[in-house]
Structure 1
Amino acid sequence: MNAVISVSQVKKGFRGCDALRGVNLEVPPGVVFALLGENGAGKTTLIRILTGFLEADSGEAQILGMDCRAQSLEIRRRIGYVSDAPALYDWMTPERIGWFTASFYPPGFQARYEQLLRQFEVPAGRKIRHMSKGQRAKVALALAVAHEPDLLILDEPTSGLDPLVRRQFLESMVDRAATGRTVLLSSHQIDEVERVADWIAIMRDGVITLVEPLQELKEATQQVLISLTDPLVEFPMPNGRILNQTANGRQRQLVVHRLDPDSLQVLRNTSGVQNVEIRTPTLEEIFIACTRGDSQPIPAEASTGT
C-alpha cells in the first residue's frame, strides 16, 4: 500500500544548529504512528516541513502523494493538525469559530464539528479566552477532524492536559485508525504512546534511529545482563544491533535489537563470564537506549513503515 507520509533524506539547518540531518521515513495508512524523541530532537521541525510551514534545505517529503513544498496548500486542506498550543481566535465562541472555519471546507463540516463539540462536552456559548487548556485542546481537535481528513498530525497534543482530556485524545486516535485513517503522533510521553501506537519511530539529534511496529519492536529487543568474574574480563559482543551498553563494576548491561541466539551461547561459554541473563525491556528503556546510548541512524532503506 502507498505510504501516507514519505520522507527521503530531508535536511534542515538553522544558524548554529542542524535540526534535521537526513531523515528517512515512511508511514503506512490506517495506523497510529508515534514519533518519539526528546525536546530538541527535530520532531516539530519535521512536522512543520510536512505541513508546508517550513521548507527543507534538501531532500524530498510527500503527504498523500503530494509534494510538501509545491502542494502545501492542498495538503493543509486534506489533513488535520493539532499542536501543543493551538492558535485560536480567543474572542470567538467554539460555535463561532466553527462557522468561520466551515467556509474553507465542503458542506457537512459544521454539522460534524458541532457533533464533536457535544461529544467532547465543550461548554456552549463560552468564549475561548475563558476556557481551560483542555477545553481549548478539544476545540482544536474538533476543528482538525470535522472535515474527516485521511491524515491527522498531532504535535505533543496532550502536553499539560489533565488525565481525563488526555484519555479522550488517545481514544479518538484509536477510533480514527480503526476507520482506516492515519494518525501521526509526536510525543515524548512514553506511557501514553504505548497504549495507542501501532508503529514507533525514535528520533535523536535530527535523525531517525529506529522505526518498527510496536509489538515487533518489543519482541525483537532484549536486555542482556552480564556478570563477570573480574571487571577487566574481555568478552565477545553478541551479534545484533547494540542500542546501548553500560558498565558497573563486574556487571555489564546491553540493550540489543535482533539478538542472535548463537552468539549469546558463545558469550555464555566465554572464560570469565559468570552469568548471562536475558530480559525484555520496556518501551521506555528502549527509548532511553536509543536516545542516550550509542545507537546510530538506521539505513535509509530500513526507515520505512510500508
Structure 2
Amino acid sequence: MAMVELRDVSKRYRTVRAMENVSFRIPPGVVFALLGENGAGKTTTIRSMLGLEQPDSGTVRVLAMDPRKDGIEIRRKIGCVPDAPKLYDWMKVSEIAWFAGGFYPEGYVAEFERLAAEFELPMNVKIKTLSKGGKAKVSLALAMAHTPELLILDEPTSGLDTLVRRKFLESMVDVASAGRTVFLSSHQIPEVERVADYVAIMNEGKIRVCEKLETLKAEIEQWVVTLENPECSLPPCDSFLLTHEGIGQRRQQLTVRSPEPNALWALRDTEGVLQVDVHTPSLEEIFVAYLKSGKNDWRSEQNSLPRDVPVSDASEEAKS
C-alpha cells in the first residue's frame, strides 16, 4: 500500500496556480522531502493530503483513503505538525498531554513524557511562557506520541536550536527504519540532505523532479570549464544540460544530468578549452539548478517511486 499517492492534482486560487498536475507516490518506511521556496505550493499540497483543501482535479490517497471523504479519519491516524501550530497556550505542557491523550489509546501520555524528556521540555510550565522553539517541541511531541504510521511535518525544525534540530532529524531516520513514513516539507536543504531517502523539488505549483536522493547525487555533475578566451564556443549539450552559467570572463559552469557517453571527453577536446573540473553538487546546488532550469524532469515519471513496480518492492529497495 502506498502511504501517500497524488495523481495529476491541480488547484488554483483565482489567478494563482498553487498545484499543477502534481504526481508522486510514497511507499512505507522512507523519509520523503518536499522542497520548494515560499509560494511553491508545498502547504497547499499538504492541506490537500489532510482533506483541508479540495483540489480542482486529480486524485489524492493517504493511507489508502480519500481525503475528500475521510479527512477526519486520516487526521486521526497520522501525526502532523503544521507550519504555524495552534496550541492551548493557557495549559501547562503536562495538561495538554493529558488532554490530547483522551483521543488516543493508552500509552500516549507516557510516550509524550518520554519525548518531552528527550527534547528537554519542562512539563510544569504554561505553554504561553515557552519560546517559539519550546512550542515547536510541544507540537512535535503531540504529533509523535501515538507512534503514527505517517508523520507529516511542515517546517518542523523552525525555531529549534541546532543540537535539538539535528537530534530530531536523526530520529526521523529511526522512524523510517521502523517501517513508518515521514513526509517532510522544509527549506532547510542541508539538513534534509542528511536524512531524506527521496526528494521532490516543487516550483510554481509543479514538481520539477521527484527522485531518490542517492540517484540525484550519482547522476548530476557540475562541470567547471576554463576557456582560452571568452569567445570560445562549447559543443551542444542541451539534451542533458540543467544550467549553464558564467563565473568570470573565462570560466563557465555547466550542471548536467546523465550526460551522453564521451560528452565530457568531447568537451575537454574542444578547441579553446583549457581545463574541465568535475564536481558533485550538494542537494542545495541541485535544488537551485532545477529552479533555474525550469525543467520538469522526465526521469521522475520513469524512475522515482516507480508506478509499474509494486509499492512493497519499492519500500524494500529504499530500505536496502
User: Do structure 1's residue 252 and structure 2's residue 252 form an aligned pair?
Assistant: yes
**Contact between 1:210 and 1:303, CA under 8 Å: does it hold in 2?**
no
Partner of residue 50, structure 2? 51
> CA RMSD, aligned part only?
1.9
Post-superposition offset of 1:303: 7.2
Post-superposition offset of 1:9: 1.0
User: Do structure 1's residue 234 and structure 2's residue 233 form an aligned pair?
Assistant: yes
Alpha-carbon distance in structure 2 between the residues aligned to 1:23 and 1:45? 11
User: Do structure 1's residue 263 and structure 2's residue 288 form an aligned pair?
Assistant: no
Post-superposition offset of 1:298: 2.7
Percent identity among equivalent residues? 50
Alpha-carbon distance in structure 1 between the residues aligned to 2:205 and 2:193? 22
Write the deviation string for residues 107-164 of structure 1: whole angstroms up to 9, x where unpaired: 3222222232233222122111111222211111111111111110110111232213
Alpha-carbon distance in structure 2 between the residues aligned to 1:220 and 1:167? 27
Letter of the 1:268 counterpart? R
Unpaired runs of 5+ in structure 2? 306-313, 315-320
Partner of residue 242, structure 2? 243
Post-superposition offset of 1:258: 1.4
Alpha-carbon distance in structure 1 between the residues aligned to 2:190 and 2:178? 24
Unpaired runs of 5+ in structure 1? none
Partner of residue 42, structure 1? 41
Alpha-carbon distance in structure 2 between the residues aligned to 1:297 and 1:24? 12
TM-score normalised by L of structure 1: 0.92
- Equivalenced residue count is 304
Write the deviation string for residues 179-238 of structure 1: whole angstroms up to 9, x where unpaired: 111111111111111121122111111111122222221111100122334434433233
Q: Secondary structure of 1:88's partner?
A: coil
Partner of residue 127, structure 1? 126
Q: Secondary structure of 1:118's partner?
A: helix
Q: Secondary structure of 1:71's partner?
A: helix
**Contact between 1:10 and 1:58, CA under 8 Å: does it hold in 2?**
yes
**Contact between 1:27 and 1:304, CA under 8 Å: does it hold in 2?**
no
Q: Secondary structure of 2:134's partner?
A: helix
Partner of residue 116, structure 1? 115
**Contact between 2:136 and 2:159, CA under 8 Å: does it hold in 1?**
no
Alpha-carbon distance in structure 1 between the residues aligned to 2:227 and 2:121? 60
Partner of residue 91, structure 1? 90
Post-superposition offset of 1:239: 6.5
**Contact between 1:5 and 1:62, CA under 8 Å: does it hold in 2?**
yes
Alpha-carbon distance in structure 2 between the residues aligned to 1:240 and 1:32? 31
**Contact between 2:212 and 2:304, CA under 8 Å: does it hold in 1?**
no
Alpha-carbon distance in structure 2 between the residues aligned to 1:266 and 1:171? 43
